Structure 1
Amino acid sequence: MAGRHDKDVAYVGDSRVVKRRGGPLTPPDYSEFPGKTEPFYPNFLLKEWMVAVVCLVAFLVLTMAHPSPLEAPANPNDTSYIPLPDWYFFFLYQLLKYEYTSGPYTVVGTILIPGLAFTALLLAPWLDRGPKRRPKDRPVATSLMLLALAAIVFLTWAAVDERQKHVASQGGGSGAPTVDVSPDAPEGEKIWAKQTSCQGCHGVDLKGSGFAPSLEHVGSKLTKEEIIDIIKNGRGQMPPGQFQGSDEELEKLAEWLAEKK
């Protein structure tokens, strides 16, 4: 240690950091301890920044390749709509559907099971106190993590699969029931059967409600062009953009409504 009378060697874990007394704050020289440690700036910070950039770019590519699916505009009068949580809560949503985690056992699915999972996470440092880092050398932590990951993946898959089957059985869209129409029905009637946002106000049978007029004889009051204009731009309490479909489908729907006199 000759020539180091003005230095102290501080041991931090398995690293040796030289601490100077007084003088300017210059970055220490780590060349004497290869493989032991490295300066936080810029080495460690640069690595963390590069990892963050890669993750951010991957996330942006994913959002552009698979954009978020958008449903119909919110309609408070559509009582058939089934709200869903965000995808990262799907596993909890599915958990509450099972017999012993719902109904009289709701406390099991809402408090007991999540509470056990969070307690195990909090106690992980005390449950596995070994110094080794390899997963095979940490059986308790590895087992708990694999069990939690398997449960989350399975419950999320089950929720998505059940939702897709429900939507398919209801004829697509937001999952709300559609009107039963004959295969020989006019195209306009078939298009109306899919417009759940319109049905929520004007009724499935076109008889209207307390705040939306009846459409049973709308053809006696409005022409096809006027109906299209109202559907596109709205009128009174009816906001624009309620119709979900193409311009061709809108033409057929307006033509069908104009014939109701």
Structure 2
Amino acid sequence: MKTSAPALPHWPYPRWVAHRGAGKLAPENTLAAFRLGAQHGYRMFECDAKLSADGVLFLLHDDTLERTTTGQGLGGAQLWAALSRLDAGGWHSRAYAGEPPVTLDAVAHYCLANRFDLNIEIKPGPGQARATGEAVGREALRLWAGASGAPPLLSSFEPEALAGARDTAPALPRGLLLETLGDGWLDTALGLGCVAVICDHTYWTAEAMARTRQTGLRTLAYTVNTPADVARLQAWGIDGIITDRVDRFSPV
């Protein structure tokens, strides 16, 4: 007798997700980027959350500060008071010079006030995977307590970070981020109690996507910036498309 695949869980999120706020059109992981992404019609955003030395969750993709701020060294090794005084916009263009770094708290309030959805990538500094995952889980529970919309989707490339988020906020949805579909990726996602797998779009295949969905998990892809890639992924039934090109693709 043929066994049917498990029913997919309810998925409350829009298909289109703005990468780091507005892709490359604004300084990544700043409120300015979120505002620009919203101006292009996006209602869900991806961002990177990291712990400062004094335990404040703030947005930064890299381990170090040089690429996207006027600071130097490891972002997680500095106090939030010092980080908050950096320029996180001037590297991008003169129009954004002086744009400050932003806390997860501020981004959450912006999204909640506008009924936007958020994918928080847990981006730990060196040796901080579990601590960062636990902190993101705790803060997300606090910030979204009583909210009427969808909870934030917590994701990470680091299984230990996802385990920390699971242990502090088991009810919040989690997604395993992958650079490739290597050995054991699906078992890892299932073992962590994830609801989704989020992979580099170049590694998704129709077979891998179908296999993922047959286990009851949703599928997302990053960073999808061409019409051909969008068409391919949509034909396979992708649930979420994370893009830099908020100016090219209408999320409606």
TM-score range, shorter chain: under 0.3
TM-score norm. by structure 1 comes to 0.18
TM-score norm. by structure 2 comes to 0.18
Larger proportion of strand: 2
Bigger RCO (CA 8 Å, 6+ sep): 2
Q: Name the larger-Rg structure.
A: 1
Larger proportion of helix: 1
